[in-house]
Each structure stands twice: as C-alpha cells, then as structure tokens.
Amino acid sequence: MAQKREIFGWAMYDFANSAFATSIMGVVFQVYFTQEVAKNADLWGMKIPAISLWGYTVSAAMLVVLLTAPALGAIADFSGQKKKFLLVYWLLGCVFTGLLFLVTPGRYLLGMGLFFIALVGFAGGNAFYNAFLPELADEKHLGRVSGLGQGLGYVGGGLCLMLNLVMIQKPAWFGLSGGNHLAVRTSFVVVAGWFMLFALPTFLLVRERASEVALFPAGKGYLAAGYGRVFDTIRQVRRYPELARFLVAFFLFMEGVETVIVMAAALGAEVLQMPSEELIKVYLLVQAVAVVGAIGFGYLADRWGNRNSIAVTLVIWCGLIVYAYFIRTPGEYWLMGVGVGVVVGGTQACSRSMVALMTPREHHAEVFGFFAMAGKAASVVGPFVMAVMTQWLNPRAGILSLSAFIILGLLVTLKVNESKGYRESQPTPAEQTGNS
C-alpha cells in the first residue's frame, strides 16, 4: 500500500473535479442552461425542449469519451505516462469550464459547444485518474481507498457548490451586480479555479510507476498501437470472464444511474418549477449524505464484498426511480435527494474497487479505459433516451424507463463471482516464474 500522502494526493483529484460534477453538470449550469439559455431554442426551425438539448449534448460528449478512452488507456499503459495524459484532460476541463462565463441567455449553441469540450476534459481524465487506484492500494484496502476518494469528492463538490450558492444569493458580497446573471456566470469561473487549484496535489504527490507492459510495437504510432491493443484485449477478454461479466453489468445499471445524475436538476426545474436556489440546496444535501454513503459502502465492501454492496445500492436505485415517477411536490423531491445521496457514492466507489480487484496489474490503464467506456456509454444512451422521451412524450415516462436498465444490471451483477474474478487476474505459476 502506498504512503498516506500519496493516497491523499490521489484522492484530492476527486475533491477538485467534483466541483464540475456538482456545479456544472449537476445543477447550476444545467438549470441555467435549461431555464435561461435554451428556454426558447429553435434549432434549424425545430422547437426542441431545453432538457432534450441538454441530454443530446451530454450524449455527444460522452460518445467522444467512449470512442477515445480505451485507446488512450492502452497508450498510457505502453508509455507509462498516465499522469501526462491526465494533465492534458485536466487543463482541457479547467479552461473550457471557465469559458462558460461567456454564455448568456439565448446563446445556446455557444453553451452547448463549450460545455461539450469541458465535459470531454472532465470525463476523459477520469480514466487515467482511476487507473492509479490499484497501484496505490492492495486488494484488502481497495474499498476504503476508493471510498476515501469518492467521499472527498463529495466534500469538495459540496463546498464549491455552497460557495456558489452564497454568491448567487448575495452577489453584492462579491462585488457583483444582479444583471445579466453575472453571479451565476461567475460561478463557472469559480469552478474552473477550484478544479485547477485543488488538483495540484495529485500532480505533485502521486508518482508515475514504471510500466510493466510489453515493449511498444515497432513501426506503429501511438494511435495504431493503442487501438491495436484494445482489439487484442477484446479478443483475450475470455481470459477474465468475471471481469467481462461485471463490465456488462456496470454498463447496464449505469444507464439509469448516470441519467438520474445528469438530468435530475432539469427535471426538478421543469416538472416541479423549483427555483435554482432550492435545487442547489437539494444538491448540497445529496453531497453531504453522499460523503457518509461513499465511505460507509467502501468499508462494507471490504467486509461483504464489492458485488454484494453494489447489489444493495441497485435495489435502492430501483426504488428511487419508481418513486421519482410519482413525485408531485418539492418536499418529495427533497426526500428523493436523501436517497440518492445514500447510494450514489457507494455504487461508484464499489464498482471502481471491483474492477481494480479483478484486473491484471499489467492492464490497469487499459481496463480502466474499458471501465470508463462502459460508464460513458451509459451516459451516451441513457441521456439520449431521456431526451427523446422528453421531446416526444414527457419527462416522467423517460425516468420510469430507466428502472429496466437497473434491474438488468442487478441480475447480471449477482452472477459475478468476485473471488473467482480475483483469481483470474493473478499471474499463473508459469508467468510468475517467467517474471522472476
């Protein structure tokens, strides 16, 4: 297990980038975009609901991450330069988040474009950030280290969101006028600064370990080598059937989970007509509860196993999605927020630990590329389905359909043998002899 300072440095990236997850994806920019920027959007002569435009933009950005994450993960394995790739995506996310300040009401195309690039930076960087986890903790401590990162993430995201709430409610305290949504737009710059500042410990404290992979293929560029290795991994995935089975399960249940995360605030604003300040407060409640949930489920995963812990969270998710269909009042929305907070961090932290446990060490970055791909593929399909359902039916019909994905994911998860998956990831006696 790595030194505590290095684990702290790694976890601080969660603390930093969660400001984007809460303030940009979660509530402030999402509500601002759907209620003000794209309220009367007319795209090529077609009236499209703002929620649908939001969903389509999220889907498009996640599609880019989906197509690039596996190759970039493989490249990182070959080069042993995960930190450098993380640096590029981090800077991309920070810069374009700050540029969201330029988005004023009616400039929905500019908002979609800038948010698209910022989201690619945020989501793409997670593949390399996650790939450090199995290098920092052994199998006995994966759950709690992953839970620590997830928990710190919710603390960071919550604190930044709280700062932005105060600035939006009391703009004069910050020397801002109330006109042209200046305080709201300034909050995007705050998020960019937060993301940049608090991620610095990651780059200063986490060391890049020597790569233990095969030599770089002669005569090939990084792109060809990267995709070539991806296809090799696909062909050899039968060597790790439990890992493969869990990645399928992860894709299925994240269809529902990710869509709830990226669409919840817009639903509250559009369906229940809740003001942005109240939605921010609900999100703060989610963050506070999620800190306990992420750390708690991390410890439970070390005692019960990751699979069983994930299964518990999925049962709760099913109940929450069905409950969301029937919500009619802001008070009921608040209650749903408590439930989401309990399970959201646990689902993600336990899933990350599960993948790390069942992944051969020499394929860490590559497999976490696949892990990111599975999660982001869900972020392609889920929000897209939600956007279509909203455009042609209504948001309630869209939210209820997500329960089917959660149920399917749960059924596949229960078929995963965690202990067997760990054994499959270990080198054979012949391989151990060859490496000695």
Question: pLDDT digits over 53-91, tens only?
Answer: 888 898 898 888 877 766 776 666 666 778 888 899 999
By CB neighbour count within 10 A (0-12 exposed, 13-18 middle, 19+ buried), where does 434 fall?
Answer: exposed
Position 429 pLDDT exceeds 60: no
Question: Where do the domains of the chain lie, and which CATH numbers do they carry?
Answer: 4-206+240-426 (1.20.1250.20)
Of 24, 48, 47, 50, nearest to 39 by C-alpha is 50
> What are the beta bridge partners of residue 47?
42
* CA atoms of 6 and 204, how far apart (whole Å): 9
Residues 327 and 272 sit within 8 Å (Cβ to Cβ): yes
Q: Residue 152's pLDDT is what?
A: 84
Q: What angle do CA 226, 229, 235 make, to 5 degrees?
A: 145
* CA atoms of 162 and 18, how far apart (whole Å): 13
Mean of all residue pLDDT scores within the chain: 81
pLDDT digits (tens, 9 = 90+) for 360-384: 776 766 676 667 666 666 777 878 8
Residues 155 and 293 sit within 8 Å (Cβ to Cβ): no
Quote the tokens at residue 106: 């009616």
CA distances from 42 to 108, 109, 391 (A): 10, 10, 13
Residues in the chain: 436
* CA atoms of 433 and 436, how far apart (whole Å): 5
Residue whose tokens read 């950005």: 61
Using DSSP, how many helices (H) and how many strands (E) does the chain show?
Answer: 18, 2
Q: Residue 213's pLDDT is what?
A: 47
**Which of 61-75, 201-215, 308-322: highest mean pLDDT?**
308-322
Q: 170: how many CB neighbours lie within 10 A of its CB?
A: 11
Residue ranges in 170-275 assigned as alpha helix (H): 182-198, 200-205, 222-236, 241-271
* CA atoms of 207 and 289, how far apart (whole Å): 32
* CA atoms of 266 and 148, how far apart (whole Å): 29
Q: Residue 198's pLDDT is what?
A: 95
Q: Residue 92's pLDDT is what?
A: 94
pTM: 0.78
Q: Residue 199's pLDDT is what?
A: 94
Position 411 pLDDT exceeds 90: yes
**What single string gives the DSSP state of each residue in 40-78?**
T-EETTEE--HHHHHHHHHHHHHHHHHHHHHHHHHHHHH
Residues 394 and 97 sit within 8 Å (Cβ to Cβ): no
* CA atoms of 194 and 16, how far apart (whole Å): 6
Q: Residue 145's pLDDT is what?
A: 79
Going by their DSSP bridges, the two strands 42-43 and 46-47 should be labelled as: antiparallel
Q: Residue 121's pLDDT is what?
A: 92
Give the residue-averaged pLDDT of 184-208: 92
Q: How confident is the model at residue 20 (pLDDT cuts 50, 70, 90)?
A: very high
The values of phi and psi at residue 46, to 5°, are: -115, 125
* CA atoms of 165 and 92, how far apart (whole Å): 25
DSSP, res 132: T
* CA atoms of 169 and 125, how far apart (whole Å): 32
* CA atoms of 54 and 269, how far apart (whole Å): 13
Position 7 pLDDT exceeds 60: yes
Q: How confident is the model at residue 212 (pLDDT cuts 50, 70, 90)?
A: very low
Among 87-91, 220-224, 412-416, 421-425, the minimum mean pLDDT is found in: 220-224
Which amino acid type is present at position 12?
Answer: M
